[in-house]
Amino acid sequence: MNVYDFTVKDNKGNDVSLSEYKGKVLLIVNTATKCGLTPQYEDLGEFSGILPSFS
């Protein structure tokens, strides 16, 4: 099994097959909502500045 075999929910609750992202850069963040690391979600915004370089 590989990552492209998985289906996840998007922010609207729709099923999305990760196979749609084959050949593209994909960042997967999996953190429990009650985990002590959730304040680091703010740091994910920094990725938006480098995303155009992957287009």
The verdict on whether 35 is a catalytic residue reads yes
Catalytic residue among 25, 26, 35, 44: 35
SS (H, E, C) 1-55: CCHHHCEEECCCCCEEEHHHHCCCCCCCCCCCCCCCCHHHHHHHHHHHHCHHHHC
**Residues involved in catalysis:** 35
